[in-house]
Structure 1
Amino acid sequence: MRRTRCDMHRAMQNETFTPAVLVVDDDPDIARLVGNYLKRVGFEAEWASDPLVALEAAKRRTFHLLVMDYQLSGQTGLEVAQQLQRVQGQRVPVVVMTAHTSVETAVAALRAGAADFVTKPFELSLLQMIVKRVLDHHQTSQELERLRTEIRRTNETHGLLGEHASMTALRRLIDRLGPADGAVLVMGESGTGKELVARALHAAGKRAKGPMVAINCGAIPSTLLESELFGHVRGAFTGASDDRLGVFREADGGTLFLDEVGELTPALQTALLRVLQERTVRPVGANREVKVDVRVVAATNRDLQAGVDDGTFRQDLLFRLDVLRLDIPPLRERGDDVLLLFRHLLPLTCARHGKTIQAIAPEVTELLLRHTWPGNVRELQNVVERAVLACDGQRLEAWHLPQSVASPPAPKGGIKEGWPLVTLAELERRHIGHVLAAVGGSKQRAADMLGIDRVTLYRKLKK
């Protein structure tokens, strides 16, 4: 059964990818010669001397490149290529073989859609070089288009990627609450993307053209935070050599994101409550208040109601902040979204580090789904970064993942509950991966621990 484009994308992610080439020439000797040569140099190749046979082959499987004779019986190779592409359901690059050496023929072939051409008679090594170059260019073009699609999807989803129902509901709620102008309280564990949600609210609202200013209330000492929030005048305290606006005035006409608002001291909670009530701020050392027009989005990973109950958070401030609420689901509750995000982040991280990873071992997928992700999306970003840096080839293996992900706790209940029912060869391969992960990817240390030499280890890894 012929695989679809989505099937091929998954195949490229989970196995070593070998491009398939279809050679069509009405001279069966040439078609056979070229097809067999391409097989010998590492491609999957089929050949046909009849366009109808070629069409049947295209119905059976997906081809990634067509090598066509320029003139077939009764029609051109490019016309046959278009029929093959319709059967495949996607555009496939075409290399034309032609016995005509004129510039006009070459130009006509390129204008008709050929990616390149080669003039008969030709050296088979030259054809191999052309085929490889065309495939590389086509793969690069597809990758660029995929990245453009990812960027468009990221923009359309406010950067909040995910197909889980909870994320779909979150995006819909952002679209509804964005145009409103009330304060918003964003609740979520550390690393879930609370600032991203705040920026999405800003972009979806009436203040989108105004400034978006963010401050982490838990990262600044309380002695400095008042000045950071409300500003100060020159000479207000030692070191205040100039006036400072403060983030409330910097965000005037826009949105202010107060991250970790649950960390505010009681005095600053009181000051913030007054700003929200009166819509004015008094800079430190100033004699008068200044009006501000700001939408406040606050975020915390703490239970603020519990803070109210134990007296560490003001209830009236909670009322002011919790006008509208958004709850961000933790990554462990989002199912297959972890794989979607991993595949989104992987090419971006590879591009940043100048690396190419074309395949992902099935064990990597299993480990990603099994991990509980206490650090949520921020932890996933770190895992992708470390895996890309650890990978020295084009296939991502389990031992490239950090040990916290690659070596999960042993299942409880013993062999009956947790032991995998796999072949002995698969069990050996998984054990080697586990040992490699445990020693940080060092093949020498892994070989020593397994009681084999490095040559034997390399041979087993290549199986």
Structure 2
Amino acid sequence: MASTQLRSQIRRVAPYFRSLSLTGEPGCGEEAVARLLHQMCPVHELGFAMVHATEAEEWFGGEGVVDWRGVGLLYLPEAERLSRAAQEGLLRMMRQHGTQTTRVVAFVGRGLKPYISAGFFLPELAGYLASLRVALPTLRDRAADLPALIHDRLQRRRMEQAAVGLRTRPVYATDSFLDAAAEQEWPGNLYQLNDVVDWLVEHRAGVPLDAEDLGAALKSSEQKPRPVAARARLVKLDQIVQEHIRNVLLACNGNKLKAAEVLGISRSTLYRMLDAAEAGPLLLAG
């Protein structure tokens, strides 16, 4: 079973790792795995710090080095989006301290190789982070876990509602409902599952659930737009532009001519914009 293998791997590596990468599709429980690694590592008494890409330069940027004392595990949920300044600062910290106390866990999706090839990620830093890899199974590979995951989400929603004084009817997940859930692909992984359970709590409380109820909830989940972060990103416009150029180049497999066509600019303009980028010259195929 995929989840059993994952737990076994976490138990094996937690006492010894210094830095590692989590690979897989978004929404496969990457933050939960990072927190479990923190709980099981030797420095679990120290804090857990999750640093998003928009906050990374505050942690790692500049000439100084942030004091890691008090941080047992540093989790980077968007490692591929770190700016060059943040990457250089993090690499400097890892060189100087060697993660003697603080453990570093980075979620890298399908891996950092495309970003290294395109010149967006420092190879040495990627080497540190990828010294050990833990692959996260998708929800469709964890069909046996679905009843427990659905039950846990229902319990959490009931607790949240009770905490604000709401009285709600229970939601009954029948065997036919669970069988239908096990047959789904769940492309959104846990994000999608949580959306489905939340919709059922709101619209189907008090009645036994069947496959038709699951279909209605899935349809609602597919139509639901992903929430946009409420906090504005306080970054320079140039950085936003460079991030968009980077994403287009990656989508075009590094082909500058095709990327320029998608962006609606000439190839020479694209070259000038790349030359002006904070990340420096990009090593891309022509």
1:307 aligns with 2:107: no
Q: Larger Rg: 1 or 2?
A: 1
Deviations 1:312-354 (A, max 9, x none): 2222111111122111111012223223311232233234333
Which of 67, 76, 87 lines up with 1:269 in the alignment?
A: 87
Aligned residues: 217
1:381 aligns with 2:199: no
Q: Report 1:215-230 matches (<5 A).
A: 215-217=51-53, 220=54, 225-229=56-60
Deviations 1:78-133 (A, max 9, x none): xxxxxxxxxxxxxxxxxxxxxxxxxxxxxxxxxxxxxxxxxxxxxxxxxxxxxxxx
Post-superposition offset of 1:231: 8.1
Q: 1:181 to 1:363 in 2, by over 3 A?
A: closer
* Structure 2, unpaired ranges of 5+: 162-166, 223-286
1:214 aligns with 2:66: no
Q: What residue number does 1:167 align with?
A: 3
Q: What residue number does 2:67 align with?
A: 249
Letter aligned with residue 322 of structure 1 = A
Tell me the SS of whatever aligns to 1:249: coil
Post-superposition offset of 1:400: 4.5
Deviations 1:1-54 (A, max 9, x none): xxxxxxxxxxxxxxxxxxxxxxxxxxxxxxxxxxxxxxxxxxxxxxxxxxxxxx
User: Could you tell me how far apart the structure 2 residues matched to 1:316 and 1:229 are?
Assistant: 16
Tell me the SS of whatever aligns to 2:36: helix
Q: 1:175 to 1:231 in 2, by over 3 A?
A: farther
User: Could you tell me how far apart the structure 2 residues matched to 1:358 and 1:390 are?
Assistant: 10
Post-superposition offset of 1:311: 2.4
Q: What residue number does 2:14 align with?
A: 178
Q: What residue number does 2:105 align with?
A: 297
% same residue: 28
Tell me the SS of whatever aligns to 2:143: coil
1:190 aligns with 2:26: yes
Letter aligned with residue 204 of structure 1 = M
Deviations 1:156-199 (A, max 9, x none): xxxxxxxxx11111111111111114111111211111111111
Q: Report 1:18-417 matches (<5 A).
A: 165-217=1-53, 220=54, 225-229=56-60, 248-249=66-67, 252-279=70-97, 293-353=101-161, 354-357=167-170, 359-398=172-211, 400-401=213-214, 403=216, 405=218
* Structure 1, unpaired ranges of 5+: 1-164, 234-245, 281-290, 410-463
Tell me the SS of whatever aligns to 1:337: helix
Q: Report 1:4-15 matches (<5 A).
A: none
Tell me the SS of whatever aligns to 1:191: coil
Matched-pair contact (CA < 8 Å) for 2:49–2:71: no
Q: Which has the higher contact order (CA 8 A, sep 6+)?
A: 2
Matched-pair contact (CA < 8 Å) for 1:350–1:356: no
Matched-pair contact (CA < 8 Å) for 1:371–1:405: no
User: Could you tell me how far apart the structure 1 residues matched to 2:175 and 2:92 are?
Assistant: 56
Q: 1:360 to 1:294 in 2, by over 3 A?
A: closer
Post-superposition offset of 1:293: 4.1
Tell me the SS of whatever aligns to 1:298: strand
User: Could you tell me how far apart the structure 1 residues matched to 2:71 and 2:221 are?
Assistant: 49
Tell me the SS of whatever aligns to 1:254: strand
RMSD between superposed Cα atoms in Å: 3.1
User: Could you tell me how far apart the structure 2 residues matched to 1:336 and 1:319 are?
Assistant: 35
Matched-pair contact (CA < 8 Å) for 1:211–1:250: no
**Structure 2 length normalisation: TM-score?**
0.66
Matched-pair contact (CA < 8 Å) for 1:185–1:324: yes
Q: 1:404 to 1:386 in 2, by over 3 A?
A: closer
Deviations 1:359-378 (A, max 9, x none): 33455324322322122112
Matched-pair contact (CA < 8 Å) for 1:226–1:268: yes
User: Could you tell me how far apart the structure 2 residues matched to 1:214 and 1:250 are?
Assistant: 13
